[in-house]
Chain A
Amino acid sequence: MAQYTRAGSARPQSGGWELAIWYLMRLTGLGLFVLALAHYIIVHFVYDPAMQNADWISARWANAAWRTADWLMLSFVVFHAFMGVRTVVQDYTKGTTRMVLTMLLYLGAFLIFAMGTIGLVTFPSAIPVKP
């Protein structure tokens, strides 16, 4: 297999974490091709945003399969989006700036993943949820 392609980032030669991340970017990307596009089509094409509210989410998440699929999408998207921005940061910065921004990205990824997971797991499935 060729070592370089014209697209995306070149496959890391060093192996280890960077190579694992390179493969995971492609794997999560393929996963999101299905999950994220399906999600967008469901909430914007099949159902109009005008008919959606917290109750609507509640009804959807009464089914554990939707919660599981959405949590899988959350995991993929947090990895893919933050590692993607990490590539951008590493392309345009160096030294301390690069290190600080990369650490901020890891922290942000953790926070967003935690917020999303808490939201997904604790969201009440009973209707109605409004006070």
Chain B
Amino acid sequence: MLFRYRGSEGMLAWAFHRISGVAIWAFILLHVFDIWLANVNAKLYDDLLTLYASAGGRVVESLLGAALLYHALNGLRIVIMDFWPSMTRYHKQLWYANWVLFAVIGLPILVQIMAPAFGLQPPFRLGG
């Protein structure tokens, strides 16, 4: 669909919003279930969390974070255009601004999350 139709930025923004949204929805199902599990069987939940902290788990978390950040930024772009219609004239520029923010915010988070998977200390020492 993404490559068959001659859509440009606007259609890609829409398609990515939809794909990331459905992916986040699927994660929410898992996440509410695991918190519920923590209540019912704390030991099983702790075992599940070691999976989250594994290298593979960190890749999935990074993908989740990317989906979340894209969806949040593009959602803000949608709200801006819905309530300030003259901004639709600049919908492409807003989309490029999204990607700049996505990279600036996302890269430090990516490094922080992935560092332990390579046996490195996370660069930002915050929560101890």
Residues of A participating in the B interface, judged by any CB pair closer than 8 Å: 1-2, 5-8, 11, 26, 29-30, 32-33, 36-37, 40-41, 44-54, 57, 74, 77-78, 81-82, 84-85, 88, 108, 112, 115-116, 118-120, 122-123, 129-131
Contact = CB atoms under 8 A, between A and B. Distances in A.
Main secondary structure of the interface of A (DSSP, over half): helix
Contacts, number: 132
Interface of B: 10, 13-14, 17-18, 21-22, 24-25, 28-29, 32-33, 35-36, 38-39, 42-43, 45-46, 49, 52-53, 57-58, 61, 64-65, 68-69, 72, 75-79, 81-83, 85, 88, 91, 109, 112-113, 116, 122, 124, 126-127
A54 B38 contact: yes
A131 B82 contact: no
B126 A88 contact: no
B28 A46 contact: no
A82 B127 contact: no
Nearest to A116: B32
Main secondary structure of the interface of B (DSSP, over half): helix
Given A32-B72, A33-B72, A53-B45, A26 B82 contact: yes
B113 A45 contact: yes
Nearest to B77: A7
Given A37-B72, A53-B49, A44 B24 contact: no
B42 A131 contact: yes
Contacts of A88: 18, 21-22
Contacts of A46: 126-127
B39 A119 contact: yes
B67 to A, nearest CB: 10
Given A7-B77, A130-B42, A44 B65 contact: yes
A85 B24 CA distance: 10
Contacts of A44: 61, 65, 109, 112-113
Given A44-B113, A57-B38, A115 B78 contact: no
Given A33-B76, A49-B52, A119-B39, A7 B25 contact: no
Contacts of A123: 38-39
Given A48-B53, A116-B32, A119-B39, A11 B82 contact: yes
Contacts of A84: 21-22, 25
B28 A54 contact: no
A45 B85 contact: no
